[in-house]
Structure 1
């Protein structure tokens, strides 16, 4: 082997080393970013924090379960029927729109009506004191957003509480008033089903979930076109 060949070989080795070193540094940097949970690929969803905790979920439903069994005076604290039917005085005070409930800072609706009577839906047997799952979707679709998935993971953990082991929940889909009645009805059903399927994928028994869509017929706030009416709620089924 000539001197020139030897020198050429050394140069080639040095060149490979010079090229591979930045690549190794880049790979190490990417690995570090991945471990830190940073999204570094375009189109990759960022990690999302849940809006509420599993403890808040379990506390809500355990308190509701206790209230549903507590008598008030000579009668039980339950009424089979709509909220307006079960609380006519409240319906009158609210202009006949008792189903519209204000939200608190956490986006959850008030559990306290003008009386301590809990209404039970005659069709689904759900107690009308829902937990707003704060599930968001891509516009006009039933695809769950990353924040929705984060919230639903906490919900699944919350209802895994041993005291709720036998509890059944109704997953309700709701829309605002934008669009036709038929379109909104289908969209609400698709969104409720998307939530149910995701919860099942997280280990929640399918027999513990009932899915229903109400379209725009049960607004949370009086302005039917308000985005607050686009929601998915979960309600405890009265045993």
Structure 2
């Protein structure tokens, strides 16, 4: 299994227009995903050193799905960004793509509470994407609590997010 990150959090990325002011189009999302992985369509043998045969790591893609403190409710901005993502998944080049929807929290609150809140965030994103026509079996939701902060400050609001990871099996 090979996994790449399509992050819906704030990342340092090389493919990043100012999302709030200049959102990605569904075509840009499809192109990013199609260019980042072969989606199992190409096979080959590399003859060379391990370094020469190691595939390039995909570039990041910023799509903001952040949450308010103590909330699993999608903001208007999150809904807009997820609608673009759902539209992109209608492209035939992504028919085989499945996604893990990972919920995250900052470090406020106890571990048990944060685990539950991150589960709720992942479920909210999965539910909204299915409302938009994404097949439910293409999405697996899971909460990771505060275990994988995006920034060095565990209380930073950027850590309250959902990330989608493309899962190629």
TM-score interval for Structure 1 and Structure 2 normalised by the shorter chain: 0.7 to 0.9
Residue of 15, 18, 25 corresponding to 1:53: 25
TM-score if structure 2 supplies the norm length? 0.73
User: In the superposition, relative to structure 1, how do residues 140 and 64 fare at CA in structure 2: closer, same or farther (>3 Å)?
Assistant: same
SS of residue matched to 1:139 = coil
Query: Residue 8 of structure 2 corresponds to which residue in structure 1?
Result: none
CA shift, 1:132, in A, is 4.5
CA shift, 1:64, in A, is 2.2
TM-score if structure 1 supplies the norm length? 0.53
Contiguous gaps of at least 5 residues in structure 1? 1-47, 79-115, 119-128
Q: Deviation digits for residues 165-196 of structure 1, max 9, x if unmatched?
A: 12101111111111111111111110010000
Whether 1:230 and 2:160 are equivalent positions in the alignment is: yes
Aligned residues: 145
Query: Residue 186 of structure 1 corresponds to which residue in structure 2?
Result: 116
Query: Residue 65 of structure 1 corresponds to which residue in structure 2?
Result: 37
The 2-side partners of 1:50 and 1:173 are apart by 25
SS of residue matched to 2:38 = helix
Query: Residue 148 of structure 1 corresponds to which residue in structure 2?
Result: 78
| Higher RCO (CA 8 Å, separation ≥ 6 residues) | 2
Q: Deviation digits for residues 89-127 of structure 1, max 9, x if unmatched?
A: xxxxxxxxxxxxxxxxxxxxxxxxxxx468xxxxxxxxx
The 1-side partners of 2:32 and 2:141 are apart by 20
Query: Residue 90 of structure 1 corresponds to which residue in structure 2?
Result: none
Contact 2:66 2:158 in 1 (8 A): no
User: In the superposition, relative to structure 1, how do residues 216 and 185 fare at CA in structure 2: closer, same or farther (>3 Å)?
Assistant: same
Contiguous gaps of at least 5 residues in structure 2? 1-19
**Structure of higher CA gyration radius:** 1
SS of residue matched to 1:179 = coil
The 2-side partners of 1:206 and 1:50 are apart by 29
